[in-house]
Amino acid sequence: MSFERVAIIGLGLLGGSIGLAVDEALPDVATTGFDADPAVRRRAAERGLAGTICETAQEAVADADLVILCVPVGAMGEVAREIAPALKPGSLVSDVGSTKASIAAALGKALPGHAVIPAHPVAGTEHSGPDAGFASLFHHRWCILTPPADADPAQVDALAAFWRALGSMVEIMDAQHHDLVLAVTSHIPHLIAYTIVGTASDLEDVTQGEVIKYSAGGFRDFTRIAASDPTMWRDVFLNNRDAVLEVLGRFSEDLTALQRAIRSGDGDTLFDRFTKTRAIRRSIIEQGQDDARPDFGRKDHDD
């Protein structure tokens, strides 16, 4: 079993990258695309983000074996209700949202009796919109599938094969566990980055110009992920509240402990903590999830 016609609903960074990746890796698969924004549809047509850009979501999904929803987490239910009457019997609906339990619930409610297998490709950049996508976005990145208990194993295999064809490595996981793991590896880092960038811009005694000038000391790394799409991230936090608050509680405890060490001049605690963290970095590079060159090979080094 494999997919011959794939519909992509939402043509931003993720949807656009899927379209381009299918075109490159699975040239025999036909793609249709739709975005609610007419300007995005025009740009998607210019860039060829899907074989056919449709004027309605229903038109885009009508002949598809696989429908992938690439809209913000909070819009998944509404889009699913919109396409429900037009879905081909036997087709599979999936998505790329960053939270999984709330999406599984929303899609299950909107599409009763229809096959749904949520998915989350753990890949992205700080850019968004129809110009942001590129075909290699998923190369050597993990895609997590969270099939419900009653999912058809053949459909799970077909969806896994689809993501592997696009360059991903595939993992199957429980939706609740996904939401906890991603709270740690993605949601809390984004929340912290948004917070510190906001804190820095609100200080009275340090100007915004100074923050920008001296950002190479570490701050600039946070601004990259704090430049991510606000709608997407608002929805992530509203839809993964429990896991985010749990991990945030741990983080705050750990930060308080380091704050106390600084206040009391406890250099040993600081040194121990700062030493432990190097090993994780090493493993991330060994497993190909980041670039070992200094500063990831930022261009300034060889200008």
Of residues 87 through 106, those in contact with its own copies by CB under 8 A are 98
Please name which of 169, 193, 192 lies closest in space to residue 289, comparing C-alpha atoms. 169
**Tokens standing for 170?**
């595939």
Does position 38 interact with its own copies (CB under 8 A)? The reply is no
CA dihedral 148, 152, 156, 159 (to 10 degrees): -110
Does position 267 interact with its own copies (CB under 8 A)? The reply is yes
Q: Binder to its own copies among 39, 161, 172, 245 (CB under 8 A)?
A: 245
Does position 150 interact with its own copies (CB under 8 A)? The reply is no
Report in angstroms how near the CB of residue 52 gets to its own copies at its nearest. Answer: 27
Alpha carbons within 13 angstroms on the beta-carbon side of residue 192 total 18
Task: Report the residue number, 1 or 238, with the smaller CB distance to its own copies.
Answer: 238
Does position 23 interact with its own copies (CB under 8 A)? The reply is no
Report in angstroms how near the CB of residue 2 gets to its own copies at its nearest. Answer: 25
| The one segment of 42-50, 57-65, 99-107, 211-219 that binds its own copies by CB under 8 A | 211-219
Amino acid present at 179: D
Does position 81 interact with its own copies (CB under 8 A)? The reply is no
Dihedral (CA of 32, 50, 5, 116) sign = negative
Does position 221 interact with its own copies (CB under 8 A)? The reply is yes
* Distances 2 to 65, 66, 91, 178, 289 between C-alpha atoms, Å: 9, 9, 11, 25, 28
Measured distance CA(24)–CA(61) in Å, rounded? 21
Does position 172 interact with its own copies (CB under 8 A)? The reply is no
Task: Report the residue number, 30 or 193, with the smaller CB distance to its own copies.
Answer: 193
Q: Binder to its own copies among 55, 161, 174, 224 (CB under 8 A)?
A: 224
Measured distance CA(114)–CA(185) in Å, rounded? 31
Does position 56 interact with its own copies (CB under 8 A)? The reply is no
Report in angstroms how near the CB of residue 58 gets to its own copies at its nearest. Answer: 28
Does position 230 interact with its own copies (CB under 8 A)? The reply is yes
Please name which of 61, 73, 90, 89 lies closest in space to residue 175, comparing C-alpha atoms. 73
